């Protein structure tokens, strides 16, 4: 469960988030909509502290993310994210992009991680691109690799 209380975020004089409060229950599907530049990405980036909120509280599964002593890397392991520009690792194949975090962060054996990565690439219709580097993929294909990569970590 995600709970946000009175979240504010400014960049210098630009006030982007002005007191957002929201609750998202487990398994609930929520769309954040609004005009370009209205703060949707800023809001999502605040949830795992890719942006530091100016004020307000964020809780994820009972953990206060905005607590200065929080172990944010632990929370990021549970929060999947597909970036607007995908941020695939350019020097890794599609398959390795999907397998690398479970190996490095979760300590999954390589064989298991690569098998699951292949399964996920297949799910997003890209098994034939497993050995291709991101520069040779279309925007939509890169996005699908990024989705497979997010799912590989079994986010909550
Ligand atoms: N790091 C930053 N420094 C300064 N201003 C920023 C920064 N990041 C975002 N902004 C500004 O904050 C505002 C909200 O940006 P944000 O990316 O959250 O919008 P968005 O709703 O996701 O837009 P889009 O739909 O176009 O992706 C914009 O005016 C943007 O220029």
DSSP SS3 for 25: coil
| Domain match, 14 and 68 both | yes
For residue 82, which of 125, 4, 33, 144 has the smallest C-alpha distance? 144
Ligand 1 centroid to Cα of residue 109, in Å, is 39
Per-residue model confidence as pLDDT tens digits over 142-154: 999 999 999 999 8
64 and 110 co-located in one domain: no
* Secondary structure (H, E, C), 103-141: HHCCCCCHHHHHHHHHHHHHHCCCHHHCCCCHHHCCHHH
Pocket of ligand 1 (CB under 6 A): 11, 14, 16, 34, 36-42
* pLDDT tens readout for residues 34-80: 998 899 999 999 999 999 999 999 999 999 999 999 999 988 888 88
Asked if 59 and 115 sit in the same domain, the reply is: no
Which ipTM was obtained for this model? 0.97
The last residue of one of the domains, among 44, 78, 112, is: 78
Q: Are residues 121 and 56 in the same domain?
A: no
Range of 16's domain?
2-78
Name the pLDDT band for 81 (thresholds 50, 70, 90).
confident
CA-nearest residue, atom 1 of ligand 1: 11
* 74 and 9 within one domain: yes
pLDDT at 83: 85
Ligand 1 atom, smallest distance to 34 CA: 21
Q: Are residues 71 and 107 in the same domain?
A: no
24 plus 70 within the same structural domain: yes
Same domain, 66 and 30: yes
Q: How far is the CA of 34 from the centre of ligand 1 (A)?
A: 12
In a domain, 20, yes or no: yes
**Distance between CA 113 and CA 90 in Å, rounded?**
19
Q: To 5 degrees, how large is the angle CA 60–CA 65–CA 69? A: 140
**DSSP bridge partners of 7:** 20
Would you state the pLDDT for residue 155? 84
Instruction: Please tell me the residue having the least CA distance from ligand 1 atom 31.
Output: 37
Of the three residues 78, 106, 132, the one that is the final residue of a domain is 78
In this structure, what DSSP letter does residue 53 have? Answer: -
Residues 71 and 14 in one domain: yes
Range list of β-strands (E), the chain: 2-11, 14-24, 55-60, 63-64
| The pair of three-digit structure tokens given for residue 81, joined into one six-digit string | 């994210």
Query: Is there a contact between 88 and 142 (Cβ–Cβ < 8 Å)?
Result: yes
- In a domain? residue 85: no
Q: How far is the CA of 80 from the centre of ligand 1 (A)?
A: 20
What is the whole-number distance in angstroms between the Cα of residue 12 and the centre of ligand 1?
A: 12
pLDDT tens digit sequence for 83-120 = 888 899 999 999 999 999 999 999 999 999 999 999 99
């Amino acid at each position: 469960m995600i709970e946000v209380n009175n979240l504010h975020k400014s960049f210098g004089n630009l006030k982007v988030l002005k007191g957002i409060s929201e609750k998202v229950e487990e398994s609930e599907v929520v769309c954040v909509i609004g005009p370009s530049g209205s703060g949707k990405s800023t809001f999502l980036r605040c949830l795992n502290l890719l942006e530091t909120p100016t004020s307000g509280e964020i809780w994820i599964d009972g953990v206060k993310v905005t607590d200065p002593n929080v172990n944010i890397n632990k929370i990021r392991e549970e929060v999947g994210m597909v970036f607007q520009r995908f941020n695939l690792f350019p020097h890794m194949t599609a398959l390795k992009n999907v397998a690398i975090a479970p190996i490095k962060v979760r300590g999954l054996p390589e064989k298991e991680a690569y098998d699951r990565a292949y399964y996920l690439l297949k799910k997003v219709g890209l098994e034939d691109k497993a050995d291709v580097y991101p520069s040779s993929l279309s925007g939509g294909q890169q996005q699908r690799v990024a989705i497979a990569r997010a799912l590989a970590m079994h986010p909550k």
